[in-house]
Chains A and B, each alone.
Chain A
């Protein structure tokens, strides 16, 4: 992952600088007076609710950033600030280097029609349209002619595995199928940026797992720039390149899943990580040592593999293994005792 970051040019696709969102009547004035030092309690006494508090970060091309937090933490608000479904109270947001908050309505509509797609928790399908009509909707809004938009929509139907159900109405589909339609709709205009607001939270655990797999498969093919909001820490670990953990509007920690599990920045983050089975999250990379040519066997493991997937064979081999990267270059070595420590130790 870090290579892809280095290779791309350095302007992130989404960039937030000190974004605030405060709900309430005289929010912007209160914010000005506070000089950026926002305290949720004092604001609440003044009749305002703090949604997002001083969020600064960037999302790079092709990166999947997951925003994780419990309900009321401001994660969905942050997403809506970036998609401009609500207006941020203060701060700057750049999409591909363009100032989002300075855009007029027309530019915003153009941006949404061409660059953005969004998936919603409650699916938000139009009840009066069939599957194919729902998926073609953003294209028709854009002014694409019927034949073209239908052809594209059919392509999307196949992509999300709903072939044969084009003419169903949303109410005739299961929750998982409805969300597939939601996903297909959000992808119909081939956006660069993909917003997902708790897309799998309304689904049963088994379906959720299936949808996550499906989602990873799609992202493998499409390689979009993604902001994914969830309240499920396991889901975040499973999907994310980087995770932002939010509490009361503040981003408590923004880091890769490995680092968050290994080095939680605050007590709050620690509570989430405590019960996480590390072998299911950490990659070989995070426990390997520097390469020692004298003391390594010829057995190779990939640095990006999750420990759990290889644990059995590593422990069986009882020798120090060689760690390689994608291009089969040696990057380090791995002592099986470390794997034992991860699984059983503290």
Chain B
């Protein structure tokens, strides 16, 4: 019996659950009892962070700097000089690109030493939007073909005629500045991580935390360090979008067969030649996929960066949502989606494009696309110049359609929303009330009524059963850090929302995935759908749910479930599809029914991969729940969001961000250990 217990996971978990329940009901609710809640020993951490930032920015290592305005020396801290120089540099680049799209040349003027806007005569007219649309058509055609050409040009045509050209170009300028910086940083750190085991060991936990921390939590520290504005948005974007590039670079370089490296060495490469002529070109495909990731992440973050003063679509979206102008928000949301899809498709087409070595073209043929582009831009420029005389209300629609002057479908959308509300309000409300009172609140109270000791027994016990003493300690330490803070109750609320969202998403994802994985066509279709939904910035998901459910916990939950079902579905399909066909044949010859095949062959084999999907689901769900604070929840996210408008919010924001990240990492540790063990057992790798 005991020997059997040692090897039986279900029995171990049953025992653990009983101990958990026992403690749950035995330990009384008593604020002074250590078994009920731990004392907030670590509550000074936010303060410490604030003091640290304060010292860095105002006191540490001051040097005298000559101030030309006051004609005197002034003591300035070095750190502040550094951060402000970075900020100025970024701002210069962003405005420079903005001026190309929207007109102006002040950045160049400012190089000569003058202040901005001093040189009135220095003005470069913007590229007419018609030329940009035509340029995208040519680019799309060159990279892939007519299909992409139409997608790209019609997408931007929509953006223009709906009067979103200016904010779109502002957002795009942020992406165009941050993406190359992320690329260079990511590639460099990736290479360092590949070359040195030590660097990789240091990078790994930083990447883990950076990728699981909610975006909002580091907005405030960035605000403190870099000030408010587009440059702060750029810094936040760079921090957010660089980690995947680092990871993909390391992954791509590690995948290179050792013989290719050896062949480079035997050709007599020195280190530099080996790196730039053998390793990086060989890993080209993975690195380019990293570039695609970077662009998508940058776009996702530039919308969120609106909270620290970045201009663009995100800012308008925020304003529209704050004013509950659902129609307007939906319209802007569609623009964000369009840009996301166009950028995604263009960068993927570029990554997959192969150079044609056979073609022997002359200069004219080689640069045909550029020549067309320049010619058409010139023609459209002239058209735009003369059309200025034609339009009488002062707006030149063929040059630049100003914000708010284009077509709009907002009134129609609003009317639609009103109609939905009037027609379905009764039913939606019943569902809403039912979910909140009978499910969500019950679950929340159950989580809040959990003594801290039973939480630890459950979490650490699971760690011990799955990964032995090592996992037990890691998971315990991560949770202990949160338990010793003032925010344990908030963390429990976040945990309950995450549990609910992950549970529902997992069921939805696994069921959908299993059904769609049945044949190749539907599998391809659903993977395409997943791709499509993953290109949107998370922000966008909030618009339709507010539209339907108003500002309640239900909305956040549904947004989180919609967002988090995507990875669950994707990983289920991938896992099930990767079951080898020989096993299918063997199963068929044993005479299994479809359900038996799924239950006893496909599911066990796909299980490790599905677990990794659930891991992603959790991260996605938590991101959305924290984001949900935008429309009002009372978990950790609410406080993180609140920090944005609070003096000294940096410390709390960062600390709480780390808490959310720790919740992710604890779950990640358990799931990954389990999945790896299953993989080893099944001999997959």
Chain A positions near chain B (C-beta within 8 angstroms) = 80, 83, 85, 105, 109-110, 112-114, 116-118, 120-130, 137-138, 141-142, 167, 169, 182, 185-186, 189, 195
Contact = CB atoms under 8 A, between A and B. Distances in A.
Given A124-B257, A126-B260, A112 B284 contact: no
A178 to B, nearest CB: 12
A204 B265 CA distance: 28
Contact of A121 (B259, B278, B281, B357): B259
B278 to A, nearest CB: 6
A112 B265 contact: yes
A137 B267 contact: yes
22 contacts: A85-B265, A85-B266, A109-B268, A109-B269, A109-B270, A112-B268, A120-B263, A123-B259, A124-B260, A125-B263, A127-B282, A130-B357, A137-B267, A138-B267, A141-B267, A141-B269, A141-B273, A169-B357, A182-B263, A185-B263, A185-B267, A195-B266
Contact of B266 (A112, A123, A128): A112
Determine which residue in B259, B273, B278, B284 has the highest number of CB atoms from chain A within 10 A of its CB, and name it.
B259
Contacts of B282: 126-128
A89 to B, nearest CB: 19
Q: Is the interface of B mostly helix, strand, loop or mixed?
A: helix
B595 interface: no
Contacts of B273: 141
A335 B249 CA distance: 69
B423 to A, nearest CB: 58
A129 B354 CA distance: 11
Interface residues of B, number: 19
A167 B355 CA distance: 12
B336 to A, nearest CB: 35
A126 B281 contact: yes
A209 to B, nearest CB: 23
B266 A167 contact: no
B353 interface: no
A225 B211 CA distance: 54
Given A118-B263, A127-B282, 11 more contacts: A80-B262, A105-B270, A110-B268, A118-B266, A122-B257, A124-B260, A126-B260, A128-B284, A138-B267, A167-B358, A182-B263
B277 interface: yes
Contacts of B268: 109-110, 112-114, 138, 141-142, 189
6 smallest beta-carbon distances between A and B, as pairs: A113-B268, A124-B259, A124-B263, A138-B267, A118-B266, A112-B268
A113 B270 CA distance: 10
B281 A120 contact: no
Contact of B267 (A80, A105, A112, A123): A112
Given A126-B281, A126-B282, A141-B273, A167 B267 contact: no
A130 B268 CA distance: 19
A116 B266 contact: yes
Contact of B277 (A80, A141, A186): A141
A11 B269 CA distance: 29
Contacts of A128: 281-282, 284
A240 B270 CA distance: 33
Contacts of A189: 268
Nearest to B263: A124
Nearest to A127: B282
A130 B262 CA distance: 19
Contacts of B269: 109, 141
Interface string B256-300: 010110110111111001000110011010000000000000000
Given A112-B268, A122-B257, A141-B268, A85 B262 contact: yes
A196 to B, nearest CB: 12
Interface string B73-109: 0000000000000000000000000000000000000
B262 A124 contact: yes
A69 to B, nearest CB: 19
Nearest to A116: B266
Contacts of A80: 262
A5 to B, nearest CB: 27
B273 to A, nearest CB: 6
Contacts of B267: 112-113, 137-138, 141, 185
Given A120-B259, A124-B262, A141-B269, A167 B357 contact: yes
A137 to B, nearest CB: 6
A113 B260 CA distance: 16
Contacts of B265: 85, 112
A228 to B, nearest CB: 15
B648 to A, nearest CB: 50
Contacts of A120: 259, 262-263
Nearest to A83: B266
A110 B268 CA distance: 7
Contacts of B270: 105, 109
Given A128-B282, A141-B269, A141-B277, A118 B262 contact: yes
B175 to A, nearest CB: 27
A244 to B, nearest CB: 21
A168 B270 CA distance: 27
Contacts of B262: 80, 85, 118, 120, 124
Contacts of A116: 266
Contacts of A169: 357
Nearest to A188: B267
Given A126-B278, A126-B282, A167-B358, A117 B260 contact: no
A231 to B, nearest CB: 16
A342 B265 CA distance: 47
Nearest to A117: B266
Contacts of B281: 126, 128-129
Contacts of A122: 257, 259
Contacts of B284: 128
Interface in B42-99: none
Contacts of A114: 268
Nearest to B269: A141
B263 to A, nearest CB: 4
Nearest to A139: B267
Nearest to B280: A128
Nearest to B277: A141
Interface string B462-477: 0000000000000000
Determine which residue in B257, B281, B357 has the highest number of CB atoms from chain A within 10 A of its CB, and name it.
B357
A105 B282 CA distance: 24
Contacts of A121: 259
Interface string B239-268: 000000000000000000101101101111
Contacts of B257: 122, 124
A280 B99 CA distance: 81
Interface in B581-636: none
A189 B358 CA distance: 26
B244 to A, nearest CB: 23
Determine which residue in B257, B262, B358 has the highest number of CB atoms from chain A within 10 A of its CB, and name it.
B262
B352 to A, nearest CB: 14
B73 to A, nearest CB: 50
Determine which residue in A112, A120, A124, A141 has the highest number of CB atoms from chain B within 10 A of its CB, and name it.
A124
A230 to B, nearest CB: 16
B408 to A, nearest CB: 48
Nearest to A197: B259
Nearest to B285: A127
A129 B269 CA distance: 16
Determine which residue in A114, A116, A118, A130 has the highest number of CB atoms from chain B within 10 A of its CB, and name it.
A118
Contacts of A195: 266
B542 to A, nearest CB: 43
Contacts of B266: 83, 85, 112, 116-118, 186, 195
Nearest to A115: B268
Interface string B359-370: 000000000000
Contacts of A110: 268
Contacts of B263: 118, 120, 124-126, 182, 185
A142 B273 CA distance: 10
B242 to A, nearest CB: 25
